[in-house]
Every structure is written in structure tokens, then in C-alpha cells.
Structure 1
Amino acid sequence: MRKEATSENAIHALAMLSNAQRYFVDQLSVLCQQHQQADKFTPQQWLRDSGQHGGGLRFEAPQHSLFNQASVNVSQVQYEDRPDKAFISATALSTIIHPINPMAPSVHIHVSWTELRSGKNYWRLMADLNPAIVCENDKNQFNETLQSVAGDYFEQATEQGNNYFYIPALEAHRGISHFYLEGFNPENVDTKTFAHRFVYAVIDSYIAILKAKLDNISVEQKPSETQQLSQLDYHTLYFYQVLTLDKGTTAGLLVHAQNDVGTLGSLPRFINRELLAQWINKTPAPRHKLVSDLVALFPDSKRCEVTTEIKVLIAQTIRSHYHNYPLS
């Protein structure tokens, strides 16, 4: 059993984000049913220290569904009994959806509430649209949603998101729309309402984009070989960015080893090993060693599956790398 945080704000955050999780999973399940995919998302629970310090529940899409990979996770970790810890609790919804059809974009959403022992409390709000094949209409629709819900904070969040999701070694961004508000808790804003409106608006916007794509795809021919290769290459870029630059993923793996598969739930199911290998020499030292070690985890083939077993090895590889080359 999970022991949950007891502060009023943490209780509210967990209830709100759990409701948003169920709402998103329900909307995704409706799309599956509309496209003759009856299989349901399956729940997977994980515990921090056997539940003493919380844990989480994630819903994963079944294989051979509309999704290449899809995970919707809500977690709450609390250290109310550990005064040596810098934070009291962290409550988060984190989800990544990778549709199987290359014409449909991926999405990443992260909304979290953190309470520090110093007395500082804040939200982290992220949303980014990540297509293998760029569609300007999708980009504009997603940005319009973000702008309408964020108001005066849209430009700040876009600038911070563009910086966060930029990949210097490849001179590319991970997606086409990036929103990131860090440490968000201004005194003149009802941040609970802001976070609630944000998460539901982003979910609804993505569902509308995905539904339109799937409805259109259903009457078209199957994806071409070129489109499928574009998706494979893009998913390789996504894989590279998450494992070499994403601070949240790296921190999650370094802090504990109790949810490695869940922490790596954002990874797409297949990558282009040959392309990943080409990026070793483009990656600054010593991180190029990490990329080389990641390449070595996969069989000598172009299209390689990121299996559960390989995710476990990826987590071990990242911990080993940062043991030898600590984060500055």
C-alpha cells in the first residue's frame, strides 16, 4: 500500500492529476474502440520503498494497438518522515504517447507539484508536440491551445521549452511545439486552477489532433516505406534526447532503481541503431561514451526494438556512466 503525502496541496494535486490521468486514458481508449482496437490500457503499479515513501500507477497501451508506445503515469513520492531530504513531496502526471502511424504526432505532457522542506512550493508544466512528419496545422492548433491557456506566460514557457528541447550536437529540436514553465507559483495567480486548465486543455487539443489524423488515415493507404523510415529516424532522435539531455529522466534513474521501466516509458518502441551509432562522434565528451554504450545494447541491425529487458539495461548503463562521470 502506498503512503501518501498529507499536506492539503499535495492531496489536491494527487486527486486532480489522477482524475486527469483517467480522463486521458478514457479518451485514448475511445479512439482505440473507434478504430477497431478493443484492447484496454493496462494498469501497472510501482512502489517507493515498498510504499513507505509513495509510488505510482501507470497505464500502458497494449502492443499491436494504435500506439507504438503509450504510457500515462501518475506518481507521488513523499519523504515526510525523512528530515534529511530536501523535498517533502513531489506529485506528478507524466505521459508520452507515440502513435504507430508516422502521420500522427507524439505528445509529451508533464504536470507536477513539488513541496520543499525550505518552504518553497511550485508547479512544473510541460507540453510538447513531437511529429515524425511535420504538419503546420497541427503545430498551429497546439500552440493556439497553449497560448489561450497560458496567456501572458506563453512566450516565457515557449522560450524555456525551446531551450530545453534543443539538441546542440544534432542542431535540432525534439519537436515542433515546446512549452515549459519551471518553478511556477506566482502570488498573483491561482496556480491550482491554472494547472487544472492547462492539463485538460492540452489533453483535449492532442486528442482532437490525433482523432483527425486517425480518421483521415483510416481512408488512406498504409504508410509508405519512406514515411515509416522517417518515423524510425525521428524516434531515434527522441531516444537520443531523452537519454542524453533530459534532466528529469536522468535524475529519476540516478535517485533510485525501483521504477526503471516506468521512468523509461517515454522511449519509443523501435530505433535506428545505425543512425544512433553515427551520432557517437557528434556527441561531446564524455557523453559520447554513453551513446556508444547505448548502441552496444542493441543487436547489429538497423531497426531494433527497445524491449523491457533493454530498458533495464539502459537504466543500468546510465547509472554506470554517471558514476564514472558525475553530473556537474
Structure 2
Amino acid sequence: MKRTAAKSESATCAHKLVSSLQTRFVEGLENLATELGSTQRFSPVEWFRDEGIHGGGIRYETADGDLIGRGSVNVSQVHYDDTPEKKLGSASAISTIIHPVNPLAPSVHIHISWTEMKNGGGYWRMMADLNPSNENKQHTAQFFSAMKSAAPEQYNEGVAQGERYFYIPALGRHRGVAHFYLEEYNSGDADTDYHLAKAVGEAAIDTYVDILAQVLRSGEQGTTAQQEMQLAYHTLYFFQVLTLDRGTTTGLLVHDQNDVGIMGSLPAYVDRMLLKSWVDRMQPPQHQLLNALVASLPEENPALVDAEVKRKLASVVRNHYRAHPEAINMQASGNVIPPTVKNHS
């Protein structure tokens, strides 16, 4: 089986960019592991959209290691060059999440993508957010500073959209401490926008690897209380991704050919009882969604989120929004809501 590539020049350039970011991140993390004497590495997993006819992707993943509990660095390109009735030409993206074992080391989420329509229009989506369970104010400031250097003119808007997108109304708090998010970004200058996406992606990757290195080189392992805070935070992360994250939901609604990859952002373990305690805070019909998600987890606590569980969770989310399509309006958004599902229809 072979993945085909999009034909347009801009899609080819975008795919080269996100692939270079993937290589940069995986090599940075593996070089750090080698320095620290760890044998943990990332393994490639390929997936195909419609048996490769409409593209697919490759992700580098790692799990249950001494440094990283769960990590996924996924690059994909889906295109519809042979399907004239679809509005979408192609979508090229890197989506990555790293959840370290050490409770003093923050998780990170980075997404850079180019979406191209057949009418000639297109836009970038840029996201970078630092997600510590035990915040280090210096790391937060370092991450913000990197984003400001990479996107000085867009910085205030990126932070504002990020603060809006990653807010969790039911819990009255944000996921993460440093957020940068630009949705449907197109300044009208294709070359400038490409270099902005490149700068944001590289800055987020390099800054995170440096922050992770600072923590791991220190030798500090964290206390039992900090480990408990990490489990609670990973549970909050799980909650936000599966009840609010529009990108995750639309990805699951568009197709079912990469469910484990789409769920690659989930941490290894969550507190099942803590999740259940949040059901009463949910507005209808989202309380049904959370109940079904909890029921899909193993009954032990903490609950392991492995590949089999990820597939169950993907089905729960997909079935919920097919039964309650209006509930998508209750999900997170920046300043605009891209019609992703409609574009793929």
C-alpha cells in the first residue's frame, strides 16, 4: 500500500515543512534521551486514507518509557485531487503531544497545518501550548517569550485566541498555562505566512526540548504530592480533549481510519473517579458523553488508556456527536470556526 501526495505546489511545500518539524522534534527528544542515558526512542506507524488513494500519514510514537509516558509526533496529508465534488483540496499537518513521566516536566501540544481549498483559498492553523501539572513560572515565561519572538506582530492575537480556546467552562480554569493559537490565518502574503508557520513551529519545538532538558538534567523527580497533581492534571487534559477539543472531534467525524493516531494526545493514565465527579457539572447532552467516556475506561484507578481504550473512546465521541450534532456548538473555538467536517463531505 502506498500513500499518494497532493498535487498542488503549496500543499507540497506545506508537507515538506511539517515533515521537517517532525524530524526536528523527534531528533531533539531522542538526542536528549541519549544524553541522559535513556534507550527510549520513537517508532514509526503509518496509516492510510482510503488505502492511500487520498493520502494518510506517519506518526512517531513512544510509550511507557523512563522519560516519556506517552508521546506522539504525527504528520499527515489528506487530499481530494480526484474528487471534484469536494470543496477541500488538501490538508497537511503536524500534530504532536508529549507527556513526560517526571511530574516536574510539562506536557506540550503543538499543531501546525495548511488547509487548501479547490477555489484557490487556503489558511494556516498554528497552535502551541505548554501544559504543566506543576507549573514553573520561569518555564511559562520562557515559552511565552519564544512565541513572541517567533510571531511578534501576531503574538497578542495568538495569546488571546489561545486563552479562549483552552478555557474549560465546567471547571472554571484553563488547560495549560501558556497558549498561542491562530485559526484560519492568511495575511495575503503566502511566503510570509509560510515562514511564520515555520518560525512558530520551530520555536515551540526548540523551547520545549530545552525546558524538558532543564528538568531532566536537574535530577529532581518530584514528590508524591506532585505525582498526584500530575495524575489529576492528566485527567483534566483527557477531559478537555474529549469534551471540548474541536480538532479531535472533527477528525473523528471525518473518518475512522486513524482513531489511535487522533487519540495520540491522551495521557497514559487518568483518575476515573475524578472524571466521574465532573459529570454533574456538564450541560446536557454533554453529561451523557462524559458518562460514556468513563464507562469506556478500565475500572481500576488510575485507569490505563491504551490503544484498545483509545478505539473505544473514539467510537464514543463519534457516536455522541452523530446523535447530538448540535452539541458541537458547545466545543471550544478561537475567533472563527472552520467548517472542517463540511469541507470533507
Q: TM-score range by the shorter chain?
A: over 0.9
Contact 1:40 1:62 in 2 (8 A): no
- Residue in 2 that maps onto 1:256: 255
Aligned to 1:76: 77
Deviation at 1:39, TM superposition (A): 3.2
Instruction: Name stretches of at least 5 consecutive residues in structure 2 with no aligned partner.
Output: 330-345
State the match for 2:101 in structure 1: 100
Superposition map of 1:60-71 within 5 A: 60-71=61-72
Q: CA deviation at 1:119?
A: 2.4
**Matching of residues 1-328 of structure 1 within 5 Å:** 1-188=2-189, 190-216=192-218, 218=219, 220=220, 222-326=221-325, 327-328=328-329
Query: What is the identity, as a one-letter code, of the residue corresponding to 1:100?
Result: V
Q: Larger relative contact order (C-alpha < 8 A, sep ≥ 6)?
A: 2
Matched-pair contact (CA < 8 Å) for 2:106–2:132: yes
Quick check: 268-277 or 58-67, which moved more?
Answer: 58-67
Could you tell me how far apart the structure 2 residues matched to 1:214 and 1:97 are? 14
Secondary structure, aligned partner of 2:154: helix
How many pairs align? 325
SS of the aligned residue for 2:296 comes to: coil
1:89-124: per-residue Cα shift (whole Å, max 9, x none)? 000011001101110001000000010123221110
Contact 2:161–2:182 (8 Å) recurs in 1: yes
Q: Cα RMSD (Å) of the superposition?
A: 1.1
Measured after TM superposition, the shift of residue 299 of structure 1 is: 3.0
Find the residue that maps to 1:235 and give its secondary structure.
helix
1:65 to partner: Cα distance: 3.1
User: What secondary structure sits across from 1:119 in the alignment?
Assistant: coil
Which range is displaced more, 195-204 or 253-262? 195-204
What letter is aligned with 1:295? V
Deviation at 1:187, TM superposition (A): 2.2
* Shift of residue 323, structure 1, vs aligned partner: 1.9
- Using the alignment, how far apart are the partners of 1:21 and 1:135 within structure 2? 26
SS in 2 for 1:268: coil
Q: Which runs of 4+ in 1 moved over 3 A?
A: none
Distance in 2 between residues matched to 1:205 and 1:313, nearest whole Å: 34
List per-residue Cα deviations over 1:270-322 (Å, max 9, x = no partner). 00001000000101110110000111112333211101110000011111111
Contact in 1 for aligned 2:298/2:304 (Cα 8 Å):
no
Q: Is the contact between residue 249 and residue 264 of structure 1 (CA under 8 Å) also seen in structure 2? A: yes
The answer to whether the Cα contact below 8 Å between 1:271 and 1:304 also exists between their aligned partners in 2 is: yes
- Deviation of 1:154 after TM superposition, in Å, equals 0.4
Give me the whole-angstrom Cα distance separating, in 1, the residues matched to 2:72 and 2:66: 13
Tell whether the 8 Å contact from 2:151 to 2:199 is kept in structure 1 after alignment.
no
- TM-score scaled by length of structure 1: 0.97
Specify the code of the residue in structure 2 equivalent to 1:284: Q
Letter in 2 for 1:24: F
**1:195, distance to aligned residue in structure 2 (A):** 1.2
Q: Distance in 1 between matches of 2:180 and 2:293?
A: 28
3-state secondary structure, aligned to 1:28: helix
Percent of residue pairs bearing the same amino acid type:
46
